[in-house]
Structure 1
Amino acid sequence: MRLEMFDPAPIGVILTEGPEHRLAYTNEVYRKTFGDRPLGRTVREAFPDLVQAGYLDILDRVYTTGRAEVLTGAPIDLDFADSPGGGTRYFSFSFSRATTSDGRQGVLGVIVEVTEQVTGAQRIRVLSEERRRALLRYRSLVSAGSQVVWVTGPKGGVTEPSPGWQRVTGQSWEEFRGDGYLDAIHPDDRAGAAEAWQRALAEQAPRT
């Protein structure tokens, strides 16, 4: 295996040798991310700042069994060369047994950073959970509260049933939806209520 062919690769590449997993090669992308770790040292010696030391057991399994292993979106905590101060970043790894040009056995690792993808997915999950909880709170308020609560579209028309309104006015959902709520207001007050509601929509501020 000619290691120099990995030098220009746009992803991180690492090669270890022997059952002790001594660092034999790292390419430029790897060094920019993880630092210029000393060659000839075992991985455990070269990465004393790695919090997730259990990942190193994967090298033992790959070297012993010859079966490749893949980790997707795995968190890594250490002092990264390109972001001093450390912190958690996420990477996908592929490890496979390899033979060097002089016949020595080792493990070849290919590493791709996926921090943006993982954290983006986490943010989406958090937002989805927050929206789910907000909806549950709203439904509880509508079902159990004594106040009249309703939901409208951007033009002011009612878009969801309101048991409170329907209970107070006697209107059915079909009568209440859209602008039908105005029919429950006294004719003398209907025009003023509609005008006040439209002003509130235009100003995006509550009106009393």
Structure 2
Amino acid sequence: MDADLTFSSRRSPVVCLHGCVASSQSLASTVGLDVLKLGGNAADAAVAIAAALAVTEPFSTGPGGDAFCLFYNGKTGEISGINGSGRSPKAQTLDLMEGRGYTADAPPSLFDVLNVTVPGAPACWCDTVHLFGSGKLSLQGVLGGAVELAEVGFPVAEVTAHHWAKGVAALRDAGKELGGDLLLDNRAPKCGQVFRNPALAQTLKASMWEDLEWTEGNTGKTL
């Protein structure tokens, strides 16, 4: 570094005119940037990136989990939020849990099906686009980038491959029908290997056309 340079880092901050995005995965960030270029706003881009991360980093995020939105309206100064946390199934009552021998001190194991909540993320995505989105893009337009990554495939990144490999045992234990979609020849994809997830692509497509797909459509029935 030059002695007369007062800036203390070798990396300059990102400075731009028409908006920028940031995420933990470059391909997901590109999807969000594309949404901005199409006229979308920050809310549209955030949902697009969340869906793309579900494809490219399935070990850390996905439509089967929870999501939360904190939105600031730059024009009005109003701050709004969405609670997209999933709820327990309707039939999973306290009596049912106690009848199976579970208590607060002796809960089900971490990977037990009884620990799975109804996914809240998809509804949060839809509501975020509808309530806070630009209005210039449909849900199809927002999720299109994630669908393309899932259908065409993407090269797995180094860090992604490392963390993906740590979940192989759990995916194998789930059985081929449940965990096989996230494995290649019964193992995690390696760095640089192209991974496709047609099942997730179909699920995202279904959500494009029917916001209630996750609770009342085929996906909801499967859950």
Kindly indicate whether structure 1 or structure 2 has the higher relative contact order, using CA contacts under 8 Å at least 6 residues apart: 2
TM category (shorter chain) comes to under 0.3
**Greater Rg, structure 1 or structure 2?**
1
Q: TM-score, normalised by structure 1?
A: 0.21
TM-score, normalisation: structure 2 = 0.20
